[in-house]
Amino acid sequence: MVATDTFSHFARRMSSTQGFPYVIIAETPNPIRQLEPEALRPRAEAMIGTVIDGLTLPPLEIKHRLQDIARKQIRPEGVVRSSVPV
């Protein structure tokens, strides 16, 4: 998944409601909406390694790498929310 840093935690929470808590998310700084192609290219190049990992790593390796990150982003300590997706 590709997302800006503003939306990456939300993206992980939403993907977890669909059964994919360990999805690899390639992040880039927000905003990107009005950037010219010349400004977008370095950002895409910076994310390419993460995209390749998401497409080629075995699922158990991805889970191992993201287990702690996913737990902190999906259910942050001190934040009380419904456990039923809306």
19-60 pLDDT, tens digit each: 999 999 999 999 999 999 999 999 999 999 999 999 999 999
Phi, psi of 85 (to 5 degrees): -60, 145
- Tell if the pTM clears 0.85, that is, is over it: no
Residues 17, 85: contact at Cβ < 8 Å?
A: yes
Q: Where are the domains of the chain?
A: 2-74
- Packing angle between helix 59-74 and helix 8-17, nearest 10 degrees? 110
At 86, list the tokens: 């809306």
DSSP sequence for 5-17: TTTHHHHHHHHHH
